[in-house]
Structures are given as C-alpha cells and as structure tokens.
C-alpha cells in the first residue's frame, strides 16, 4: 500500500508540475505574440499553434486533475430523491458509466493516433501525434484517479448494507 501511495504522490507532482508548465507556456507565448504583433509589427507564425497545443494538453490534464481532486461539478437533484442508503448505489452506477466512457475515449483516442500517422502541423512542423496523445493520456489518468473513488464508494456501500441488516 505504501508503494501505491508513493506512485500516487509522484503522479500528483508530475501532473501538477506539467499543468503549471503548460499554463506558463500558454501565458508566455500569448504575451510574446501580443508584443511582437502590436509593438514590433512582426507576428510570430508559430505562437498560435504552440498556444493552442499547450491549451489542449492543459485542458485535458486539468480534467484528470479535476477527477483526482473531486473538483468536477455534479447535479444531484435526481440523487436526492433516493433514500440515503441507495444514493451510494447511484454514485457507483454513475462512476461506472463514466469509466466506461473513459475506456471508449481511450480506445478512440488510440485509434485516432494510429490513423493520423505522421501528419505535421503547419507552423511548428510538429507531429500531430504529440498533440492528439493528450486524449488517451488524459483518459488513462482519469481512469487511474477514478479507481480509488470507486473503491471508497464500494466500501461505503458495504457499510450501508451492514447498517441496514
């Protein structure tokens, strides 16, 4: 268990540092583009692509961090209709549906990577593979982060069942 916590701590640090780095790139490139375009009258041709590609990675990595931190919004109006003992089962079903969606996202993301081959971006001449890789990577991270949540919900359901008996 200690090894799993250690791996989780390293993963957390890498995700957070990557998100901070990507945000710095987005802000820096955007600021440089504004200065070059409007002050120096010499726009940077590659800046839009780098900013966009960084934003794609930042958004999808942010979604994974949101799963890890439990920061995604949820609508619980329907869930409140159920008695408290059944709410955990609704949460488990919802999380399983989300995990199924993430597996599909992973599969289709990998299919997309295979199909695009070695296409390159027009400005940076970067393999588009590296941009689209954000999709399966974020799906895997969200799946990894959702497993402990599912474990907690299952443990909670067992506690709820034992209290009912």
Q: Report helix, strand or coil for 49.
A: helix
How far apart CA 132 and CA 120 sit, in angstroms, is: 12
Which pLDDT score is estimated for 121?
Answer: 92
φ, ψ of residue 127 to 5 degrees: the values are -60, 125
How far apart CA 137 and CA 22 sit, in angstroms, is: 15
Length of the chain equals 165
Label residue 64 by pLDDT band (50, 70, 90): very high
Which has the closest alpha carbon to 21: 29, 11, 32?
29
Average pLDDT over residues 28-51: 94
Q: What is the mean pLDDT of the chain?
A: 92
Which pLDDT score is estimated for 85?
Answer: 82
Q: Is the pLDDT of residue 162 over 80?
A: no
How far apart CA 53 and CA 47 sit, in angstroms, is: 10
Average pLDDT over residues 68-81: 88
Q: Which of 35-49, 76-90, 92-106, 134-148 has the lowest mean pLDDT?
A: 76-90
Longest CA pairwise span in the chain (Å): 75
How far apart CA 71 and CA 39 sit, in angstroms, is: 40
């Amino acid at each position: 268990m200690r090894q799993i916590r250690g791996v989780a701590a390293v993963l957390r640090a890498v995700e957070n540092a990557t998100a901070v780095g990507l945000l710095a790139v987005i802000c820096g490139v955007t600021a440089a583009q504004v200065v070059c375009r409007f002050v120096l009258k010499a726009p940077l041709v590659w800046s839009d692509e780098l900013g966009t590609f960084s934003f794609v990675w930042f958004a999808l990595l942010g979604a994974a961090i949101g799963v890890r931190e439990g920061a995604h919004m949820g609508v619980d109006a329907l869930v409140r209709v159920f008695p408290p003992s059944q709410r955990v089962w609704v949460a488990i079903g919802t999380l399983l549906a989300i995990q199924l969606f993430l597996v599909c996202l992973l599969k289709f993301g990998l299919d997309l990577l295979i199909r695009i081959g070695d296409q390159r971006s027009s400005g940076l001449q970067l393999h588009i593979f590296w941009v689209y890789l954000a999709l399966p990577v974020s799906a895997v991270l969200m799946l990894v982060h959702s497993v402990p949540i599912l474990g907690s919900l299952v443990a909670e359901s067992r506690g709820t069942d034992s209290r009912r008996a």
